[in-house]
């Protein structure tokens, strides 16, 4: 366990990941309530919305209104997601978001063809276009991510050598464009990872690119999210995407296949109990998680919001014993 | 990861753990359907019911009828739970169960007083009584378990030294009674464990009693079940209790605090993907998990029953590529 980090950074993606899968309309004011609540938890970064086509993702049609409505808390970074020039322009135009550039490639061409109707070669060109776009808007680029790192529903298992190869391509593209990648995010886009593959792939990437900071984006479709995060920490990973209450997932069959990110408060709970700092107040985060459930109007998968923290129980035990904590 | 076992044994407790928390009545025939379905999965042991007071646990009033009704599959052990002579007599009287003796102590006297209205000294006497009872009925005793190993809602954190001390008391009591404990089960009764405490406590117990086989009983109330099982495996633990579909837990607030065991099929999925044998057919187990959900009539917490296996996806990928697996 010697590689366990002393502190991890959690990047909240709940509002963006979560609301886009919801079928019913959610009032923008309620989304804003959740973002304002999350701002009070100690989270350092919150991804608030996507600037994507309202025809394709109707739940995100209120992106501008939402950004206008929430209250920025000093010290918190508020980010958005975009997939092209138009989205980036919309994000910049809000004048209220922290705009950072990120490059992305995918290990699986079959997934890419299906999901973005592009070949890998076209995707490489798209990255070049992205770099040019970021330059044009004077946006710094220091992050890259690889999708479908641990397996793909359409291509199957992904060899570790392919992940290394794609990472190298991203670093080369960045260098060619005059940027330097500081953080590389490995995304388990289709929830194929288990602790064994996390250790194997993270180990190989870390060995090949020791100077790069690694980050994990873990989907919890098969219940491995927390175990995978733990295995990542054992390999020294100290940055994780997460979603409050497990937003984006749902225990109802009508949302079958809904694959929420690893749950933020469950991750914070594990870290708290293992002496790993997150800077996040778990009790406040549990309040946000309960609010998230209220906002979407159905149960969300996170566990600690129901099970409660141990700090609270310890306090009760101490009070009953006539002591103070 | 060098301590990861090559094979683990999973002891299914779903029917017993799961049905006792359900509020509505479940027809005995449906419980039997689930047991018969589980019998076909490759599970080596299934705990089918509790022989407890029907007044205290009305859902278990059909214990005899249930045992009479299910079909024994050769090679599978079917067990029951009892807390006293009367329960053991009822279990033996069915003539259809695999009766094995187990001794149990609890780390937390406050929990014991609350849950069983006994002091620790009274509980030690109860263990002596249990040993005498097992002898009387000619039941072999080779297993012991410790409750509330990783923490207690009423006593707080439990020092590892106390766990060691209680384990020693169990071994001494067994020796005094002429039995030998081969397997020691460490139960996270109130879901206080995280991978860090699993490693610490299992490590200490293993070091002190290297000849004893360890087993983990993990509740998933705070979403740590699978991560804790993984941390246990890293410490060489190769026996786990589990509950199909996470029976015993429920994402509904009306079941708040319902703390299912770690989910059997999620655990089997992790093992399958990490090359750890379980002897269990995951596809059949997923069918049983979906049946369990039907039988209780509400969503259950397991993930793989919704996310599906990767073996199935790999097969589909191979078929589409015109190959065979």
SS3 B99: coil
Question: By the CB < 8 Å criterion, does B297 face chain A?
Answer: no
Q: Residue B37 domain-assigned?
A: yes
Reported as a single tens digit per residue, the pLDDT across A218-253 is: 999 999 999 999 999 999 999 999 999 999 865 554
Q: Which of A191, A301, A304 sits opposite B251 (nearest CB)?
A: A301
| Cβ(B83)–Cβ(B122) below 8 Å | no
For residues A100-117, b (16+ Cβ closer than 10 Å) or e, as one string? ebbbbbbbbbbbbbeeee
Write out chain A residues lying below 8 Å of B192, CB-based: 310
Using the CB atoms, write b or e for A198-220: b if 16+ within 10 Å: bbbbbeebbeebeebbbbbbbbb
Does the beta carbon of A319 lie under 8 angstroms from any beta carbon of chain B? no
Rounded Cα–Cα distance for residues B156 and A231 (Å):
27
Residue range(s) defining the domain that contains residue B309:
9-101+179-320
What pLDDT shows up at residue B250?
53
- Region of A70 on the Ramachandran plot (φ > 0 left; ψ -120 to 50 alpha; else beta): beta
Beta carbons of A317 and B154 less than 8 angstroms apart: yes
Residues 6+ apart with CB under 8 A from A199: A231, A234, A235, B1
What count of other Cβ atoms lies within 10 Å of the Cβ of residue A256? 10
At B99, list the tokens.
Answer: 């009766």
CB contacts, 8 Å: B194 with chain A? 269-270, 273-274
Query: Which residues of chain A lie closer than 8 angstroms to B1, CB-CB?
Result: 196, 199
Q: Give helix B85-93 / helix B120-136 axis angle, nearest 10°.
A: 30
User: Any alpha helices (H) in chain B, and if so which ranges?
Assistant: 14-19, 28-39, 63-69, 85-93, 109-116, 120-136, 160-176, 195-208, 225-234, 264-273, 282-296, 304-307, 310-320
- The closest alpha carbon to B304, from A56, A319, A256, belongs to A256
Closest C-alpha among A214, A221, A210 to residue A198: A214
Catalytic option among B152, B250, B263, B271:
B250
CA proximity to A299, closest of B150, B241, B251, B25: B251
pLDDT score for B211: 97
CB pairs under 8 A between A and B: 130
Q: Residue A263: how many CB atoms within 10 A of its CB?
A: 30
Under 8 Å between Cβ of B213 and B203: no
Residues 229-248 of A with CB under 8 A from B: 229-231
Residue B169 domain-assigned (yes or no): no
Residue of higher predicted confidence among A52 and B17: A52
Q: For residue A278, give every residue at least 6 positions away whose Cβ sits within 8 Å of its Cβ, in sequence order, or none.
A: A7, A8, A9, A10, A42, A267, A268, A271, A272
Contact A314 B156 (CB under 8 A): yes
Alpha carbon distance B91, B80 (integer Å)? 7
Residues 6+ apart with CB under 8 A from A85: A133
Q: Which residues pair with A239 in a beta bridge?
A: A9, A215
Question: Can you tell me the distance from the alpha carbon of A150 to that of A189, in angstroms, rounded to the nearest whole number?
Answer: 8
Examine the residue annotation and report whether A250 is marked as an active-site residue of this protein. yes
Please check whether residue B171 lies inside any domain of the structure: no
For A158-186, write each residue's pLDDT tens digit. Answer: 999 999 999 999 999 999 999 999 999 99
CA distance A62 to chain B (A): 30
In a domain, A79, yes or no: yes
Tokens of B78: 């079917």
Query: In this complex, do B307 and A191 lie within 8 Å of one another by their Cβ atoms?
Result: yes
Q: Is residue B163 part of a domain?
A: no
What's the CA gap between A250 and B148, in Å, rounded? 31
Number of domains in chain A: 1
CATH code, domain with B88 = 3.20.20.70
Q: Please tell me what DSSP assigns to residue A44.
A: S
Closest CA to A39 of A291, A250, A260: A291
Torsional sign, CA B308, B313, B314, B315 = positive
Give the count of beta carbons closer than 10 Å to the beta carbon of residue B307: 25
d(C-alpha B48, C-alpha B36), whole Å: 10
Better-scored residue on pLDDT, A233 or A299: A233
d(CA B79, CA B283): 24
Q: Give A255's pLDDT tier (boundaries 50, 70, 90).
A: very low
Per-residue HEC secondary structure of A229-288 comes to: HHHHHHCCCCEEEEEHHHECECCCHHHCCCCCECEHHHHHHHHHHCCCECCCCHHHHHHH
Q: What's the rounded Cα separation, in Å, for the pair B192 and B135?
A: 35
pLDDT mean across residues, chain A: 93
- CB neighbour burial string for B233-252, b if at least 16 within 10 angstroms, e if fewer: bbbebbbbbbbbbbbbbbbe
SS3 state of residue A304: helix
What span, in angstroms and rounded, lies between the C-alpha atoms of A194 and B40?
26
8 Å CB contact between A79 and A45: yes
- Residue A36 scores a pLDDT above 80: yes
In this structure, is residue A48 part of a structural domain?
Answer: yes
How many angstroms separate the CA of residue A279 from the nearest CA in chain B? 19
Decide if B57 is inside a domain: yes
**CA gap B269, B265 in Å, rounded:** 6
Point out the catalytic residue in the list A152, A250, A263, A271: A250
Helices A160-176, A195-208: crossing angle, 10 deg rounding: 40
pLDDT at B258: 54
Of B153, B223, B317, the CB nearest to A263: B223
Residues 6+ away with beta carbon under 8 Å from B141: B100, B101, B102, B103, B131, B134, B174, B177, B179, B181
> Mean per-residue pLDDT for A98-103?
96
Q: Is the pLDDT of residue A204 over 60?
A: yes
Please give the Cα distance from B107 to B201 (Å, whole number).
13
Averaged in consecutive runs of 10 residues, what is the pLDDT profile of chain B (325 residues)? 86 89 86 98 97 88 97 98 92 96 96 91 96 95 97 96 98 97 96 97 98 96 96 98 86 54 97 98 98 91 93 94 68
- Chain A residue with CA closest to B219: the answer is A307
Chain A residues in contact with B263 (beta carbon < 8 A): 223
In a domain, B140, yes or no: no
Q: Beta-carbon neighbour count of residue B68 at 10 Å? A: 13
Is the Cα dihedral B64, B68, B71, B76 positive or negative? positive
């Amino acid at each position: 366990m010697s590689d366990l980090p002393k502190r991890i950074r959690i990047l909240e993606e709940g509002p963006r990941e979560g609301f886009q899968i919801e079928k019913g309309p959610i009032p923008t004011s309620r989304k804003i309530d959740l973002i304002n609540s999350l701002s009070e938890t100690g989270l350092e970064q919150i991804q608030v919305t996507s600037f994507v086509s309202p025809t394709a993702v109707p739940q995100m049609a209120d992106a501008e209104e939402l950004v206008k409505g929430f209250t920025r808390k000093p010290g918190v970074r508020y980010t958005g997601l975009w997939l092209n020039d138009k989205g980036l322009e919309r994000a910049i135009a809000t004048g209220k978001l922290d705009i950072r550039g990120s490059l992305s490639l995918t290990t699986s061409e079959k997934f890419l063809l299906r999901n973005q109707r592009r070949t890998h070669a076209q995707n490489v060109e798209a990255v070049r276009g992205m770099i040019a776009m970021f330059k044009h808007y004077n946006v710094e680029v220091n992050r890259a991510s690889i999708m479908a790192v641990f397996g793909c529903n359409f291509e199957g298992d992904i060899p570790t050598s392919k992940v290394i190869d794609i990472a190298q391509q991203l670093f080369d593209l960045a260098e060619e464009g005059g940027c330097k990648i500081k953080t590389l995010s490995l995304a388990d886009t289709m929830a194929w990872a288990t602790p064994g593959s996390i250790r194997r792939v993270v180990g190989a990437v870390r060995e090949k690119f020791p100077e790069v900071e690694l980050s994990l984006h873990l989907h919890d479709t098969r219940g491995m999210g927390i175990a995978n995060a733990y295995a990542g920490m054992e390999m020294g990973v100290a940055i994780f995407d997460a979603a409050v209450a497990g937003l984006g997932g749902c225990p109802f069959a009508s949302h079958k296949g809904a694959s929420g990110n690893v749950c933020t408060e469950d991750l914070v709970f594990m870290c708290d109990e293992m002496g790993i700092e997150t800077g996040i107040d778990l009790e406040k985060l549990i309040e946000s998680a309960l609010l998230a459930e209220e906002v979407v109007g159905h149960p969300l998968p996170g566990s600690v919001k129901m099970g409660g923290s141990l700090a609270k129980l310890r306090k009760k035990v101490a009070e009953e014993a006539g002591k103070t904590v």
